[in-house]
Amino acid sequence: DTEVTQTPKHLVMGMTNKKSLKCEQHMGHRAMYWYKQKAKKPPELMFVYSYEKLSINESVPSRFSPECPNSSLLNLHLHALQPEDSALYLCASSQTGQGRATEAFFGQGTRLTVV
Amino acid sequence: KNEVEQSPQNLTAQEGEFITINCSYSVGISALHWLQQHPGGGIVSLFMLSSGKKKHGRLIATINIQEKHSSLHITASHPRDSAVYICAVNWGGSEKLVFGKGTKLTVNP
């Protein structure tokens, strides 16, 4: 199984809603990532978890709250978002780097629209 | 400044043509990745390189560490190859990927 599964595929939410994006992998990878991608732009890193601990936070606003409940799951909790947060949210995983680069596997993404 | 530059930004080809997409980076890296993204979102990892050359089917990726340059070649291109191709690098020992802006490839039948 070389898949990273993201749910939901599409999400429309209001600015006062609370929602969560989910990501799952069963490749035994110990590094998991959230990226945000706006239309016609490259992905931008938001968070990195390594061995279920947050290792990188790219100064993301607190309305985005990541969670890694176990080595296979990664969540992104959303609260009080703004319309400019509408984007494709991509999850990825890799064997943990620990000082070396490893191949990243990406999910299909969740297309989020904030209204 | 750590930068990843891709060229061309857009590329249109006829089916069967040989295609080359280029990627240059500014400082030393530990690895370079070629990724493919189709309309609709999902990203597929094509290659991860730290030296030399790799081949998978009709795709070939090369990297020249001294010149800080990599190329992705597609032989006998097909309309299903139409996608955005993204070059990304790991700086030093970081797990963080730094992305180029992508090359949008359209292969016409």
User: Phi, psi (5° rounding) for residue A5?
Assistant: -105, 125
Report chain A's mean pLDDT, rounded to a whole number. Answer: 93
pLDDT digits (tens, 9 = 90+) for A39-94: 989 999 999 999 999 998 999 999 999 999 999 999 999 999 999 999 999 999 99
Measured distance CA(B63)–CA(A82) in Å, rounded: 41
Measured distance CA(A111)–CA(A82) in Å, rounded: 15
Cβ-nearest to A103 among B41, B45, B96: B45
Residue A99: its pLDDT value, please? 60
Q: Are A101 and B43 an interchain contact pair (Cβ–Cβ within 8 Å)?
A: no
Give the B window 15-74 contacts with A, CB below 8 Å. Answer: 30-31, 33, 35, 40-45, 48, 50
pLDDT digits (tens, 9 = 90+) for B46-90: 999 999 999 999 999 999 999 999 999 999 999 999 999 999 998
Q: In chain B, what are the helix, strand and coil shares in percent, each to the nearest 5?
A: 5, 60, 35
Q: Could you give the 3-state DSSP secondary structure of residue A83?
A: helix
Higher pLDDT, B42 or A61: A61
Residue B42: its pLDDT value, please? 87
**DSSP code of residue A5:** E
Per-residue CA distances from B33 to A105, A112, B61, B64, B98 (Å): 11, 26, 9, 13, 10
A66 prior amide bond cis, ω within 30: no
Q: Are A101 and B90 an interchain contact pair (Cβ–Cβ within 8 Å)?
A: yes
Q: Which residues lie below 8 Å from residue B17, measured CB to CB, with a gap of 6+?
A: B77, B107
Q: In chain A, what are the helix, strand and coil shares in percent, each to the nearest 5?
A: 5, 55, 40
Measured distance CA(A80)–CA(A114) in Å, rounded: 10
Residue A37 has pLDDT above 60, yes or no: yes
* H-run or E-run covering A14: none
Per cent of chain B over pLDDT 90 is: 80
Residue B32 has pLDDT above 90, yes or no: yes
Per-residue CA distances from B58 to B32, B46, B106 (Å): 19, 11, 16
Q: How confident is the model at residue B30 (pLDDT cuts 50, 70, 90)?
A: confident
